[in-house]
Amino acid sequence: MRVCVVHSTLNSVGGGERVCLAVIEALKSMGFTTRLIVTEPTDWNFVKKMVGDAVRPDEELTIIPFRVRAFGIYMRLLTFLKIITSRDGCDLVVNTHGDVLPVSSDIIYMHYPTFALVKEFPVNAKYSKSLFWRLYFYPYEKIQSWLVRKMKWKVLLTNSEFSKEAIKRYVGAEATVLYPPVDVGDFLKVSENRDRGDRVVSCGRYTPEKNYEFILRLAKELPHIEFIIIGAYSGKVSSTYYSKLVKMKERLGLRNVRLLRNVPRDEQLRVYSRSKVFLHAMIGEHFGIAVVEAMASGLIPVVHRSGGPWLDIIDRGRYGLGFTSIDEAINAVEKALKEYQAMRVKVIERAKLFSRESFIESFKEVINRAIS
């Protein structure tokens, strides 16, 4: 059996891309032939640098033979052109980037209804920050709103209870929660390291919705604590945002902040092994793979009291601390440092529930249901 896996691009190497890679691994372990459909060629060396070894598909089809630097959300929609021409050669279509396409997919992993980004937590959506971006996003919003009422699927999956509720509100459909795969193995290896300082780490793409400005403001209030941001850096958006953070750091005179870019896995693990707290400032994060990785490394999570990190991962404060303001974040970070030893064991055990192996086994069951 040949399965087509559809994704916009793997080169951004975020949570959605890890879902795609794990889906390919699950399908190949079941003996299926896999065909990956993406808008641009995958830089597999970069993928390996950022996430380690990945199981590659048997075949990769691209829409454009070079890297695309603009019109990202509209490029996603073009993948349907390859689905149409490839459909006869595929017994099953799995859409892992989650946008609804003008052609039906058998399985859709909808991370969040993208067209609804400006409706909730608009502070995180660049598409609501200026007239230019609002006009840019508007046609896409209308296309997706129309498509979700027309397209069919056999199985609709999502990454968290938070996203499930949003899908129910805006798509009018019931989704099944399948938590994203997290490669906790390497992170668990450093969890026992006890040589840790009063250090706070954040990790994610260098994009505005990650709200790293909040972390710099927090660092200004806690000069005795070191803050490290580890960010994936790719494209104009990352470059512009990173430059903004550098200027803000200089303006605030922050000597306790380090801004790292495209850090290899071994360096990330070294930083985690010497730190105590993981700070996640994004508002309305859909899940938060980086939070789980940090927890597996023995870091205490301090997250914004919204989205998947708060609701699904730390279970409303049972396995970490939450905040909604600078003052609450200060108190949460100081409490996490003070109570580090008392909290670390249950945090590590919680992280194991979101392992890559759990995702793969659960996804195999989904495939078997879809086939039957």
For the chain, 372 residues long, give each residue's pLDDT as a single digit of tens.
Answer: 899 999 988 888 878 899 999 999 999 999 999 999 998 899 999 888 877 788 999 999 888 767 666 556 666 666 665 565 555 678 899 999 877 766 778 999 998 887 676 666 544 456 666 677 677 777 777 777 777 777 778 899 999 999 999 899 888 889 999 999 998 999 999 999 989 999 999 999 899 889 999 999 999 999 999 999 999 887 788 999 999 999 999 999 999 999 999 998 899 999 999 999 999 999 989 899 999 999 999 999 999 999 999 999 999 999 999 999 999 999 999 999 999 999 999 999 999 999 999 999 999 999 998 887
> Could you tell me if 309 and 163 are in contact, meaning their C-beta atoms sit under 8 angstroms apart?
no
How many angstroms separate the CA atoms of 60 and 88, rounded? 16
Residues 182 and 357 sit within 8 Å (Cβ to Cβ): no
- Among residues 301, 308, 302, the alpha carbon closest in space to that of 284 is found at 308
Between the two ends of the chain, the Cα-to-Cα distance in Å is 13
With a CB cutoff of 8 Å and minimum separation 6, the contacts of 61 are 35, 36, 37, 38, 82, 86
Q: What stretch of H or E contains 202?
A: strand 199-205
Q: Note the helical H segments in the chain.
A: 15-29, 44-51, 72-77, 79-86, 131-150, 161-170, 184-189, 212-221, 235-252, 265-273, 289-296, 307-308, 326-338, 340-351, 356-371
φ and ψ of 42, to 5 deg = -80, 130
Where are the domain boundaries for CATH 3.40.50.2000 in the chain?
A: 2-181+355-371, 184-353
Task: Assess contact for 318 and 210: CB atoms under 8 A.
Answer: no
Backbone angles phi, psi at 228, to 5 degrees: -125, 125
Record the tokens describing residue 25, joined without a space: 């691994």
The CATH fold assigned to 2-181+355-371 is Rossmann fold (3.40.50)
Average pLDDT, the chain: 88
CATH topology of domain 184-353: Rossmann fold (3.40.50)
Residue 315 region, left (φ>0) first, then alpha (ψ -120 to 50), else beta?
left
As beta bridge partners, residue 277 has 200, 300
Residue 90 DSSP code: -
Q: DSSP states of 18-85 as a string?
A: HHHHHHHHHHHHTT-EEEEEESS---HHHHHHHH---PPPSEEEESSSS---S-HHHHHHTHHHHHHH
**Model pTM score:** 0.82
CB-CB neighbours of 354 under 10 Å: 23
For 232, phi then psi, to 5°, come to: -75, 130
Contact 258, 246 (CB under 8 A): no
Instruction: Compute the distance between CA of residue 135 and CA of residue 131 in angstroms, rounded to an integer.
Output: 6
| Side-chain half-sphere exposure of 73, counting CA atoms within 13 A | 19
Q: What is the C-alpha to C-alpha distance for residues 174 and 15, in angstroms, rounded to an integer?
A: 22
